[in-house]
Structure 1
C-alpha cells in the first residue's frame, strides 16, 4: 500500500492501517484526517497542544465525549508503539458490567384501569425483560394514574392506544362483557392478546374472538392462574398419571363475601350485560376452569341460583350438580353472600385416595400408595380473595404472563388458549340455562371448528 497514511510512524509503531481501524467506529474524530505521528493533532499531547484527558476525544463541535473502553485502550497502546494485536481487550467482566439490566424483549400495553389492571401492571413490573409502555381505560383518570406510576404513556383514544409502537402484547382487563370486543380490536392490529378471565360472557362472542385471532395470526390466552400454581400442576400430574386411580367424586366451594359497596360502587359488576352473571361467572369461574382442567368435560349440569343478599340483577348464590364425561360426579357452590367469606376449597376423590386444595395450595393428601408430595414453596401472606376483590399475591398472574410470552416467542400454545378458555364460559352458560329451566341440561359441544 502507498501513501503517508499507510506507512508506519517514524521511529517505529503501528501501521497506518491500524489507525484507520481505530477510527472506523467513531463519529468523525477529526475533520481532515491526518497521519499517525508528531504532526497529527489528535496525538499532540507533547507537541504543542494540551492533550485531552485519557478516554476523551473531541467531536467536530469541540465537545468532549467518552471513548468506548476498548478504543481507549487501543489508542493508548498505539501511543506507546504497541501493535494492536498485542494490546489486550478489557476484561470480559468489565464489558458485561453494563448488561445487568435485562434487555427488553416485550413491550406491553394494558386495556383497563380497574383493580385487575393494577394487578396486571404489577405482574408486568416484576417480569424481567418486559416493559409496560401504554395504558388505556374507560376511566381515563385511573388509566393515566397507572401509566404515570409505571412510566408508560396514557391514551384517551382506543385506536391511538392500539397504534402505539413498540408494543407486541396487550393485557385486557376491562369489564368481562367488553373482553372480546377489545381483544378483537387488538388482534386486528397484529397484537397478541392475554385476557383476564372470563374470555367474555357468551360463547358466541368468544367464538368471534377466536376466529379473529386465528385470522390475524396472533396468540390468544386467558388468565387462569390456577394452571400455573405449582401445587395444582402437581395435582394435575397426579390425576393424569393415575395416582388417584379412577376419579369418581369432586366438590368445589367458593363461599366468599363481597360487601354491598362492591356492587354499588361499580357500573358493571352484578349486571348481565357486562359481568355476564354473578358469583358463577365472576368468582366461581376459577374453580370451574380448575375442574375442567383436572377432570375433563362436563356432559350434564343441574343448577339453581338465588339472589339472597345483594341488590343486584344477577345471582349472589349458586349451586350445581355436575356429571363429567369421564364418569365422575361433583358439586359446585359459588357465592358472594357468605359472611365473613371462607377460603376456596376443592376436594377430589378417586379409587386410590383423596386430595384437598385450599386456595391454590394442596393442604391434604391421603393415598393408598404414597407418592412424593407437591414441591415446597416459600411462605406468603394469606390470600384475601374470600373477602376482597384486590389481588394481594401477583405471582400467579406473573407466571401466566411469563408462560404467555414464552408461547409468543416459541409458537407453542399457552397454558390456557382461546379454545380452552371457552370451555368454562360454555359450562357457565349451561348452568344459567339449567337454573332458568329448573332442571338438568346437556352442556353444548364445542362449536368452534378446530383449524
Structure 2
C-alpha cells in the first residue's frame, strides 16, 4: 500500500457489490484502488475493469494483492469470509448484517487485530436527516425521552425478489427476513439515536405476505431503562407503505414523516406544566418548525470514503463492526420474543437466541432459484 492508496478487493458480484465497485471505479471513493474481484463463476467484469478475477476468496486474499476487502456475499458466508480476512490482517468492510445473529457477530469480533479497520456498511448513519435528528436528541433539546415509535412499512418486496435468490428469506441463508435484511438499517438508526431498550415484546409474522419461512411483518414494543416506551412496526408486504419516526421528550418532539423533518418545542416542560398549571384542560404551548435538509448524499460512497480514510489517516469509523451487534440484538430479541411468547430483556442472552436459531436452521434449506428474469433498478431499493 502506498501512502495515499488502499488496494481493494471485492468478494461477491451481486447488486450491492456492483454498486460499491461503481463508486470506486468512478472516483467517488478517494484513495481507493480496485485491484481484484471474486465470484464463484467467471465474469467479464474483470476484463472491463482491468482487474484480477478470482473464483475463491482465499486465493484472492492469499495473493497479497489487496490491503482491504469488501465482503458483499450472502449472509450465511459473512462469518467465514470475514474471519479469514481478519486472520490475514486485512482491513474489512462487511455488508450488513454482521452475521446470522449477534452471537455470530460477537464471535467474529474476536478475530480483529489491533490496527486493523473492521467496518460495517450501515450507510443510513450518513443520511443528513438522521444525523440532524441525532444531533437534536444528543443536545438535550427534547428533554428526557418519553416515547419513541417508528412505522417502517415501505420496504415492500414482491415475490420475485425472493424467487431469484437461493439464500434470501431462509433461516439457513440469512438468519431471518425483514428484521435482518431491510429493516436492520432502521433498527440501527433507531438505537443509534434513541439508545437500546431494556425490554422488548414482539409479534412477528412468518411468511404472511410471501412464500417464505421467515418474518415479513413485525410489531414490537419497547421499554427503556428510564421508563420511556417505544414501538417498531415493519413490513415487506404492505403497500402503500409508510416511513414515520417519532421521538417525544418532555420538552418537545421530533417527527420524521415521508421525508420531512419537523421539530416541536414546548414553551414549558410537560412534566413541569403538568404539576404547576391550574387549567383543568391545559396543555403547554408549542412551536413547530420544519427543518429542510437540502443536502443529498451518496451514502454507500460516504461510508467507503470514511473506511479508506480510517485506514490511511486513522479517521474514526462511522460504523465500526462492533456497532452492528446492537441492531442485531434488537432484531434477535424480537424473534426470540415471538418464539417464546414472552418479553425479552436486554442485554440479550446471545447463546439462548443462537440455540433457538440453530433449531430453525436445522429445518431450513436454500431454495431452488427461479428462472424468471428480474428487472433491477437498485435506486428503487433504498428507502
Q: TM-score range by the shorter chain?
A: 0.7 to 0.9
Q: For 1:398 and 1:234, locate their aligned partners in 2 and report how far apart those are by CA, in whole Å.
A: 19
Tell me the equivalent position of 1:195. 94
Tell me the equivalent position of 1:427. 330
Following superposition, the deviation at residue 418 of structure 1 comes to 2.1
> SS of 1:282's equivalent?
coil
Following superposition, the deviation at residue 339 of structure 1 comes to 2.5
2:53 pairs with one of 148, 154, 163:
154
1:136 pairs with one of 16, 38, 47:
38
Tell me the equivalent position of 1:234. 132
Q: For 1:257 and 1:191, locate their aligned partners in 2 and report how far apart those are by CA, in whole Å.
A: 36
Q: In the alignment, is the contact (CA less than 8 A) between 2:263 and 2:288 conserved in 1?
A: no
Tell me the equivalent position of 1:377. 294
> SS of 1:257's equivalent?
coil
Tell me the equivalent position of 1:329. 229
Q: In the alignment, is the contact (CA less than 8 A) between 2:148 and 2:230 conserved in 1?
A: yes
Tell me the equivalent position of 1:108. 8
2:238 pairs with one of 338, 341, 362:
338
CA 1:148 to 1:318, structure 2 compared with 1: closer, same or farther past 3 Å? farther
Q: For 1:148 and 1:123, locate their aligned partners in 2 and report how far apart those are by CA, in whole Å.
A: 18
Matched, 1:270 2:182: no
Aligned runs of 1:29-428 on 2, under 5 Å?
105-125=5-25, 126-138=28-40, 140-141=41-42, 144-214=43-113, 217-255=115-153, 256-306=155-205, 307-340=207-240, 342-358=241-257, 361-368=259-266, 376-378=293-295, 395-428=298-331
> SS of 2:179's equivalent?
helix
Following superposition, the deviation at residue 104 of structure 1 comes to 5.6
- String of CA shifts for 1:315-352, please: whole Å, max 9, x gaps: 11111101123432111112111134x25332211122
Q: For 2:323 and 2:22, locate their aligned partners in 1 and report how far apart those are by CA, in whole Å.
A: 25
Query: Which runs of 5 or more structure 1 residues have no equivalent in the other structure?
Result: 1-102, 381-393
Q: For 2:86 and 2:95, locate their aligned partners in 1 and report how far apart those are by CA, in whole Å.
A: 15
TM-score w.r.t. length of structure 1: 0.67
Q: Bigger radius of gyration, 1 or 2?
A: 1
Q: In the alignment, is the contact (CA less than 8 A) between 2:141 and 2:251 conserved in 1?
A: yes
> SS of 2:239's equivalent?
coil
Tell me the equivalent position of 1:95. none
Q: In the alignment, is the contact (CA less than 8 A) between 2:162 and 2:168 conserved in 1?
A: yes
Matched, 1:437 2:340: yes
Q: For 1:351 and 1:374, locate their aligned partners in 2 and report how far apart those are by CA, in whole Å.
A: 20
TM-score w.r.t. length of structure 2: 0.78
Q: For 1:367 and 1:264, locate their aligned partners in 2 and report how far apart those are by CA, in whole Å.
A: 47
- String of CA shifts for 1:58-79, please: whole Å, max 9, x gaps: xxxxxxxxxxxxxxxxxxxxxx
Tell me the equivalent position of 2:359. none
Following superposition, the deviation at residue 137 of structure 1 comes to 2.4
Query: Which runs of 5 or more structure 2 residues have no equivalent in the other structure?
Result: 268-286, 352-383
Q: For 1:146 and 1:345, locate their aligned partners in 2 and report how far apart those are by CA, in whole Å.
A: 40
Q: For 1:205 and 1:407, locate their aligned partners in 2 and report how far apart those are by CA, in whole Å.
A: 25
Number of aligned positions between the proteins: 327
Following superposition, the deviation at residue 213 of structure 1 comes to 0.9
Q: For 1:367 and 1:348, locate their aligned partners in 2 and report how far apart those are by CA, in whole Å.
A: 12
Q: For 1:434 and 1:362, locate their aligned partners in 2 and report how far apart those are by CA, in whole Å.
A: 33
Q: For 1:147 and 1:320, locate their aligned partners in 2 and report how far apart those are by CA, in whole Å.
A: 45
CA 1:230 to 1:273, structure 2 compared with 1: closer, same or farther past 3 Å? same
> SS of 2:201's equivalent?
strand
> SS of 2:110's equivalent?
helix
Q: For 1:124 and 1:164, locate their aligned partners in 2 and report how far apart those are by CA, in whole Å.
A: 21
Q: For 1:290 and 1:244, locate their aligned partners in 2 and report how far apart those are by CA, in whole Å.
A: 18
- String of CA shifts for 1:140-180, please: whole Å, max 9, x gaps: 24xx2443443322111222111244421111111122212
CA 1:417 to 1:334, structure 2 compared with 1: closer, same or farther past 3 Å? same
Q: For 1:186 and 1:241, locate their aligned partners in 2 and report how far apart those are by CA, in whole Å.
A: 39
Q: In the alignment, is the contact (CA less than 8 A) between 1:234 and 1:374 conserved in 2?
A: no
> SS of 2:167's equivalent?
coil
Give runs of ≥4 in structure 1 deviating > 6 Å: 369-373
